[in-house]
Structure 1
Amino acid sequence: MVADARVTEELKAAILRGEFAPRQRLVEIELCEQFDASRFAVRAALQALEADGLVERQRNRGARIREIGIDEAVEITQVREVVEGLIARRAAERVDDAEAEALAEIGRAMHAAVAAGEVGEYSDLNARLHALLRDIARHDKANGIIAHLHGQMVRHQFALSRVPGRSKVSVHQHQAIIDAVIARDADAAEAAMRAHIVSVIEALRAIV
């Protein structure tokens, strides 16, 4: 069954925006109306999103939003530690002067957002920083793994961004990553990224 790219992407975006709650049933006829799509296109989209880990199918009950528990979130983040460490290392090895300045600018903006208490802005800058590092690293397989895991972690990342004082801790971790990449120090970049992700794991466990 070949998925309709539009329906798949629109449904995925709605899930990532939090429009559907964990364990919420996905009724095909309602999705057809919401996304102006055929039953076939909706079924194919659900199948594709099941492969992404966002949807799960229950026998005789159809599909629902898959809930990611803390234990699974920690395991996913442990995988991120390894893969994003590789990305940071590759970024340090490949960064050019223009990319280095772009990283520095994001770092300055992150500090400004924290000082102003702009949690949403800081979260957006966080996403931009990690995306830019992936672009600089130019490692298709690593980027694909992170893209696959990202959707499963969105709700937990949102919860972490709202933890009081979390941004004041992570901004210095992100600055350490930026500084190491700009300095073209691959070992330091990987170590800084891994330390940051370990901190994320600790914060996830603290939420519980």
Structure 2
Amino acid sequence: MEMKSLTAETRKRISLRGTGMYAAIAEQLREMILEGELPPGAHIDEKALCEQFDISRTPLREALKTLVTEGHVTHRQHMGFQVAPISKDEIGAIFEVLHGLEETAGRLAAQRIDDKQMRVLLERHRTMEAYHREGKRTAYYRANQKVHQQIVDVAGNAVLSDLYASLMSKIHRARGAANADVLRWSESLGEHGAILDALSRRDGACLARLLREHSEHTAAEVMKVLQATSGN
């Protein structure tokens, strides 16, 4: 399994001693899984990772145990650690819930967002546009997720925010595995523009509808790609 070389900043974090060491390793592995660098179902080569990170097996094991509790990694005796597989049925079910959460967040956000929060969202949208022009898909997707989470957060409901973030972490992994360069992009950016326009007008009904439709379009594309890559 070929892995990307670590940046100097990452090496510095991973070289930390004490309790921070395994957390830094877990953070790097989590990112590799979420971005699809470690694909679903892949066996985790502990020896290769120890060499890559220049660490012993003990902190690596602690990091992997953390990822097991998060559901990103599985462990079976005599078989070692494995990247958790993605269930198309589970992802489909999660999207069904997310559609409703997006719609609810839209109605509440239109009522509760303030001018400062709106300015931050508009600035992030401009950043997304720049990433789109420059062809930076990974950076674009991360900015995209920040915009969606902020819209949910300004709805002012902590339960809604926590549930949305938890479910989106699973969708993030599915999208990384599905290979973001085949997902719709320009269409999605246009939808984001319409969403922010509705939010700036504080039009809750329109915003709720647009967010739900945007979520449904994204779900259809992700499920199509997962179906194609699974071969089923």
Shorter-chain TM-score bucket reads 0.7 to 0.9
Q: How many Å apart are 1:142 and its aligned residue?
A: 2.5
- C-alpha distance 67-90 of structure 1, shift in aligned 2 (>3 A): same
Partners in 1 of 2:219 and 2:179 — Cα distance? Answer: 10
Given that residues 85 and 194 in structure 1 are in contact (C-alpha distance below 8 angstroms), is that contact kept between their aligned partners in structure 2? Answer: yes
Corresponding residue for residue 148 of structure 2: 130
- SS at the partner of 1:25? coil
User: 1:73, 1:153 within 8 Å by CA — same for their partners in 2?
Assistant: yes
Task: Please state whether the residue corresponding to 1:162 is helix, strand or coil.
Answer: helix
- Whether the 8 Å CA contact 2:73–2:81 is kept in 1: the answer is yes
TM-score normalized by the length of structure 1: 0.77
Match of 1:93 in 2: 111
Matched residue type, 1:118? G
Determine the C-alpha separation between the residues in 1 that align with 2:45 and 2:179.
30
Q: Which residue of 2 aligns with 1:176?
A: 194
Whole-angstrom distance in 1 between the partners of 2:34 and 2:102: 21
Q: Secondary structure at the match of 2:154?
A: helix
- Contact 2:105–2:151 (Cα < 8 Å) also in 1: yes
RMSD: 3.1
Q: CA deviation at 1:150?
A: 3.1
Aligned to 2:42: 24
Structure 1 residues 145, 194: closer, same or farther in 2, change over 3 A?
Answer: same
Match of 2:55 in 1: 36
What is the match of residue 13 of structure 2? none
Identity %, equivalent residues? 28
- Which ranges of structure 2 fall in alignment gaps of 5 or more residues? 1-18
Q: Distance in 2 between matches of 1:146 and 1:181?
A: 19
In structure 2, the residue matched to 1:149 is 167
Supply the AA of the counterpart residue of 1:79: V
SS in 1 for 2:38: coil
1:9 paired with 2:38, answer no
| Residues in 2 aligned to 1:137 and 1:18: alpha-carbon distance in whole angstroms | 31
Which SS does the other structure have where 2:185 is aligned? helix
Structure 2 contact 149–165 (Cα < 8 Å) conserved: no
Which moves more between the two structures, 52-61 or 149-158?
A: 149-158
Once the 2 structures are TM-superposed, how far is the Cα of residue 64 of structure 1 from its aligned partner?
0.4
Can you give the 5+ residue segments of structure 1 that lack an aligned partner in the other structure?
none
> Secondary structure of the equivalent of 1:150?
helix
- Corresponding residue of 2:7: none
TM superposition shift of 1:110: 4.1
Q: Give the partner amino acid of 1:101.
A: R
Confirm whether residue 80 of structure 1 aligns to residue 98 of structure 2. yes
Contact persistence 1:52–1:148 (CA under 8 A):
no
- The number of equivalent residue pairs is 204
Superposed CA deviations along residues 25-67 of structure 1, whole A, max 9, x for unmatched, are 235565556373662x544433332232211223431220012
CA distance in 1, matches of 2:62, 2:108: 36
Aligned to 2:80, which of 35, 57, 62?
62
Q: 1:163 aligns with which of 173, 182, 185?
A: 182
Q: Is the 8 A contact 1:122 1:167 kept in 2?
A: no
